Amino acid sequence: TAPRQAVLISSGAGVRGNQGWSAYALSKATLNMLVQLYAHDMPDTQLVALAPGLIDTAMQAQLREVDSTVFPSVRRMHEAHGTGTMPGAETVARRLLNLLPHLHDVESGSFIDMRKR
């Protein structure tokens, strides 16, 4: 039997074309389209692509080591680090758990930026 709801973790990178993010952005854009397409094929399951925003993780730490003069989008990560704009993983997980019950109101196949909810 199909699940009633599936929330797939996406990224704003899947809707923005930042220099140097080709593989990651393409993978998230593909995920977003997969959610849209599967929403048609699985009408009894609500599917949502959810972008949680910047999260202070080991991946972010590694990305902040990249030269921002070569990859300007990295500046945003430097500016966000240590602020509420880039919370830790546990904080984002709590926000996600609080948001899950409200996602049932969202149209299946949607891309949702969690920071705007």
Question: How far does Cα 28 stand from its chain's mean position?
Answer: 8
Active-site option among 12, 20, 24, 64: 24
Residue with tokens 């899950």: 100
Select from 50, 75, 49 the least CA-distant residue to 64. Answer: 75
* Annotation says 24 is catalytic: yes
Sole residue written with tokens 């996602």: 103
- Which helix (H) or strand (E) segment is 46 a member of? strand 46-51
Could you list the active site residues? 24
